[in-house]
Amino acid sequence: MSFEFPSVKCVLLIVLGVMYAGVVSAQSVPFTWDNATVYFVMTDRFANGRSDNDAAYGRGLDGDQNPYAAEGDKKFVGGDFAGLTSKLNEGYFENLGIDAIWISPPFEQIHGWVAAPGGREQSYAYHGYWLLDPTELDANFGTPEEFRQLVDTAHSKGVRVIVDIVINHPGYATMADMDEFGFGELDSLWRGWRPSQGESWNSFHDKFVDYSTVSDSTGWADWWGPAWIRAGLSGHDDCGSEDLTLCLSALPDFKTDSADEVEIPQFLLNKWGDEKARAEMASLDAYFQRTGYRRTPVNYLIKWATDLVREFGIDGYRIDTAKHVESENWYRLISEATSAHREFWSQHEPPAGFQPMPFWTVGEIYGLSPGMVDNPADIAFDAYINFELPYRDLLDVHEVDSLYLAYSNYIGNPENKSFLSYVSSHDEGLADRTNAYDLATRFVMMPGAIQLLFGDELSRGLDAASGDRIQLSRTPIDWESLDEEILTHWQKLLQFRQRHPAIGAGGHEMIESSPHIFRRSFGYGTYRDEAVIVIGAKGRTRINVSKSFGDDSLVRDAYSGKTSLVTFGFVTLTADPSGIMLLEEAN
C-alpha cells in the first residue's frame, strides 16, 4: 500500500509534523522544524564502513598509477554511506536526540587534485563541493544501493535525511580528469611529476596546462564549455563582480541566469559511454517534455538534483551558496523537488513510526540572521542558516537571554521564516571549546532549529595538530577514542529538547538571572508543552515553576533523574554538579 499525502484540511497538522492521517494521542510529541536538531555530516570524515572504496577513481595515484606521498589532510580518508548506516544501526543518532542528518553533497566529485592555498599540498574533493558528474554518486562515498539503505535506515529510526545541493558551480579542472575524459590542453608529462626544488604543487599550471587557447577545435570546448560556465579561460565569459556572476574561490560559475539552450557537455558524454548517454538523454527528453522548460544549464541541473529525491526519497535540501543563484531558479528547484518527493511517497509505504513531511529546504544566504530579514517573502526557502551565534557571547547570561527572547518572539510570528543556528561550521571553524559544557547547554536551549557540526558532541578537533582553522573543523572522528563524558552531556540535553517542542518553538520567559532560570511554553490545538531550565544551580535549589506545573504535580529533572512534587508553585531539588536542571512533568 502506498502512502497518501493529506488533504488540504490537514495542512495545519503537517506544519507540526503530526501524523498525516488519523488522530494523534495525547502522548505524541509533535515534530516541528523550529525545534529540530540537525546533524551535519561530512561523509568522508565521519565513519568508514567499507575500506575497499577508500581510493576510488585512482585518487592518491599519479597518472602512471604510482602513489603520491601520503601527506597532508586534504585527502579522502574513507568515510562513506555504509559507515553512516552502521552508526544509525548502532543507535548513535537516536541516542543523541537527532531529528535530521544533513549530508555533504553525495554526487561524483572531480577525480584529481588541485593545489591547496600556497601550493604546499594536494587538495581533493573529499568535502563534496567540487562537482564532476551530477548524475552519479561518488564511489568513494558508496553505491546507489548503499545510499538507499542509508536513507531507508534513517527513516526506520525516525531520522530525516537532508542533502547538500550545489548548483552554483562545478569543480575545478584537474589533470587526472582532463586525461581521463578528453578535455583541456594538457602535456602528458604531468603523469609522473612531483614538485622539485623551487616548485610547489601549484607549479603544474605553468608546466603542463595551457589555459590560453580555447576554440571549437581545442579540448577546452569539450569541458563544460562557454555555454555552461563563466571561467578564467579564453573564449569564455569573464567572471563577474556581482553575487550572481562571481566565480567563488576561482571555481567555474554555472550560467544559471542563461536563457540559451545548451547540449550535454562533451566530457560527460565521453565519461558516460553510449549506453548511459542514451538512457540519460531519454530521461532528459521526458523531463523537458513534461515540464515545458527550456534546455538551459540551470534546468539540466534542477533535473539532476531532483532525481535524487525521486529515486531515494530524501526529505530536504540544504542549499549551498544560495545568494549566488537567481531566486526564480530556487523556486523552480523547490517545486520540482516537492513534486518528486510526493511522487516517491505515493509509491512507497513509510516505515512504522515514520511520519513523512513536506519537502524542506534551508538556504545558506551568507551572513544572514533573523534581525536582518526585512521581507520574509523574499526568501525562497522554508528556513535559512543563521550566521549570528559565532559572533555572540553565549556564556553571558544577559546576552544569551536576550537572544532567547528575540528568537522566540521571531519564531512566534507566523509571517517569519524558520532559521537554523550553529556554533561550529565546516566553512568557518570550530566554536571555542574552553567552556564546552556550558556552551553546549546554552546552544541546545536556543529557540529555532539548531545544527551540530559532526563531532561537536565529542569536542572533535580540540587536540588536532592542524593549524588550518577550516581544516581543523573537518578532522575525522576517531571512534576508538571518544570523550564519553561530554557525549553523555549532549545526549541528555538533546533528548530533552527532542521531547519538548517548547524548547525550539515555544515562548521564552526568564524567571531569574542567577542562577539562570527560564521557562518555555508551547501550545498547538489541545497540545501543551512546558519546560523549565536552570543553568548555574548549586546544591539545594528552590525553583519557581508556578507558570508551568500545577501544585502536586511530580516534576522530574531530566539531567539528574531526581523528582520533586510542586508545592505552592515551587520545587526544591539538589542540583547536579554541572549546575544544570532540565525540568519536565514526570509523566
Domains in the chain, CATH or no CATH each: 1-30 (no CATH), 505-585 (2.60.40.1180)
DSSP letter for 356, please: -
Catalytic residue among 146, 320, 456, 530: 320
CB count, 10 Å around CB of 229? 23
pLDDT less than 50: residues of the chain:
1-27, 465
pLDDT at residue 65, rounded to an integer: 96
pLDDT at residue 429, rounded to an integer: 86
Active site residue 551: no
What gap in Å lies between CA 478 and CA 442, rounded to an integer?
A: 26
pLDDT at residue 373, rounded to an integer: 87
pLDDT at residue 4, rounded to an integer: 41
What gap in Å lies between CA 176 and CA 37, rounded to an integer?
A: 39
Catalytic residue among 62, 177, 364, 584: 364
Report residue 218 as a C-alpha cell. Answer: 581545442
Report residue 401 as a C-alpha cell. Answer: 537571554
Which residue reads 489541545 in cell numbers? 526
Q: Label each residue of 313-331 as H, E or C.
A: CCCEEEECCHHHCCHHHHH
pLDDT at residue 497, rounded to an integer: 98
pLDDT at residue 375, rounded to an integer: 84
Read off the pLDDT of residues 180-223 as tens digits, 9 standing for 90 and up: 999 999 999 999 999 999 999 999 999 999 988 655 556 899 99
Active site residue 320: yes
Q: Label each residue of 85-101 as H, E or C.
A: HHHHHCCHHHHHCCCEE
